[in-house]
């Protein structure tokens, strides 16, 4: 795997080709067009670079690949250009896996082939390929790449702006809401056991002040003066 080109290039292209000669050619053409280039020799290495992995259960052909949260691309990929005929994973297989990924499906994919087979071209375009180039790829062909990358870049920027706007509106609504009022704390009630002595004392005082208790009783005894 090699990363070439000016680090300040606006767009980054992932080139995939098992032929070293063709890979070096497309790499040089892309560099001439001022693109940053990452070149790999197989579809599986391309998936690894993209952070794309498949489930361990390969017996299910309908398994949809997903992006591992532990894999992070060092640079953003703005376009993938891949050879069609490669051992193991073909360019068409790579195209399908990228388009099946919710995180990568917006990346434009261009297919290259040395064979002009109309059914193959149609199948790739129907699967989501932006272009189908016949080898040898020429510099004039690469001039058709930039509009696809610009379209995706503008779409991503609009999506980011929309997300920022929604986040800003949510924060504004939160700031406008009055702060929650503190709830009054319930006053502690005295325990009945603590009230009992006071009640007894009050009752004793009331009985001591009763007229019947203060008035002497003689029960019929005559007092001599």
Q: What is the pLDDT of residue 156?
A: 74
User: What string of pLDDT tens digits covers the 225 residues of the chain?
Assistant: 554 444 335 899 999 999 999 999 999 999 999 999 999 999 999 999 999 865 433 444 444 444 443 344 557 899 999 999 999 999 999 999 999 999 999 999 999 999 999 999 999 999 999 999 999 999 999 999 999 999 888 877 777 788 888 888 888 887 777 777 777 777 777 666 555 555 666 665 666 655 555 555 555 555 555
Read off the pTM: 0.64
Preceding peptide of 136 cis, ω within 30°: yes
Q: Write the CA distances from 204 to 164, 173, 199, 217, integer angstroms.
A: 77, 65, 9, 21
Q: What is the pLDDT of residue 58?
A: 44
Max Cα-Cα span within the chain: 151
Token digits for 157?
């920027």
Q: Contact at 8 Å (CB) between 77 and 11?
A: no
Q: What is the pLDDT of residue 67?
A: 42
Token digits for 7?
């680090």
- What number of other Cβ atoms are within 10 A of residue 103's Cβ? 13
User: Rounded distance, CA 222 to CA 225, Å?
Assistant: 10
Torsion region of 219: left, alpha or beta (phi above 0 gives left; psi -120 to 50 gives alpha): left
Q: What is the pLDDT of residue 138?
A: 94
Q: What is the pLDDT of residue 88?
A: 94
Q: Helices then strands (H, E): number in the chain?
A: 8, 8
List phi, psi (to 5°) of 193.
-65, -30
């Amino acid at each position: 795997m090699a990363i070439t080109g000016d680090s300040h290039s606006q767009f980054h292209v992932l080139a995939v080709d098992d032929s070293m000669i063709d890979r070096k050619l497309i790499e040089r053409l892309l560099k001439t067009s001022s693109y940053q280039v990452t070149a790999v020799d197989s579809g599986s290495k391309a998936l690894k670079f993209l952070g794309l992995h498949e489930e361990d259960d390969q017996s299910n052909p309908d398994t949809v690949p997903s992006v591992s949260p532990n894999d992070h691309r060092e640079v953003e990929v703005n376009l993938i250009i891949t050879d069609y005929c490669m051992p193991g994973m073909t360019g068409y297989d790579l195209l399908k896996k990228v388009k099946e990924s919710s995180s990568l499906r917006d990346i434009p994919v261009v297919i290259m082939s040395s064979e002009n087979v109309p059914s193959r071209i149609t199948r790739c375009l129907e699967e989501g390929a932006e272009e189908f180039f016949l080898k040898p790829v020429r510099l004039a062909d690469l001039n058709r790449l930039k509009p696809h990358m610009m379209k995706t870049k503008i779409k991503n920027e609009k999506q980011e702006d929309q997300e920022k706007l929604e986040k800003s509106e949510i924060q504004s609504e939160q700031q406008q809401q009055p702060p929650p009022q503190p709830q009054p704390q319930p006053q502690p009630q005295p325990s009945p056991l603590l009230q009992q002595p006071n009640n007894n004392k009050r009752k004793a005082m009331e009985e001591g002040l009763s007229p019947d208790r203060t008035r002497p009783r003689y029960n019929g005894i005559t007092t001599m003066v």
